[in-house]
Amino acid sequence: MKKTLIALCMLFVAFNVQAQETEADKQAKAMELMSIKVDMKVDTELFTEVTPNTYVSESPKAVIMAMIVPETYENAKNKLESNLPPEFVVANKGEKMMNGVNVVFLEGTSKAQGVTINSTVYCFKRDADTCFMFMGMSEVGADQKYVDAIIAAGNSVVKKQ
């Protein structure tokens, strides 16, 4: 009995070490993927690049961001649908074809620091293990040119690989 308990403990420790290594590997992969420049056309008269793949406007507040995430398309889709913050109100969601690519999309509003923000998220497959994620956010009531610039940037990201 004592030997069986020791063997089970050793197996448990080995599994936990392997899981920790897998999580560390996943975090390293995520950091590596975040450093890859995403091909995206952004109106630089309205938005300034603050980090690779992230652009902000001065006023009104608007943000454009793209990244590669270390998730399969199905996992990313499930997380996108189930991990929404409670203050996010979904206006529209689903899957659609954009530029010949199957895209999961999410549109809605949220409040941050007393400001209501319109948000659009696109997610589509990059390869078997990774996805592209695009996010565009603007203050409610922002000039249409900011909204149009976010839509154009999102369309420029979504393309067949």
Q: What is the pLDDT of residue 21?
A: 46
- Give the CA count within 13 Å in the CB-facing half-sphere of 106: 23
What number of helices (H) and strands (E) belong to the chain? 3, 7
**pLDDT tens over the chain, length 161 residues:** 333 333 333 333 333 333 444 777 777 777 777 778 899 999 999 999 998 899 999 887 899 999 998 889 999 888 887 888 888 899 999 999 999 999 999 999 998 788 899 999 999 999 999 999 999 999 999 999 999 999 999 999 998 76
pTM over 0.75: yes
The token pair at 83 is: 């991990």
Phi and psi torsions of 29, nearest 5°: -65, -40
Relative to beta strand 115-125, strand 101-112 is antiparallel
Identity of the residue numbered 61: K
Architecture of domain 37-157: 3-Layer(aba) Sandwich (3.40)
- What residues does each domain of the chain span? 1-35, 37-157
Percent helix, strand, coil in the chain (nearest 5)?
A: 35, 35, 30
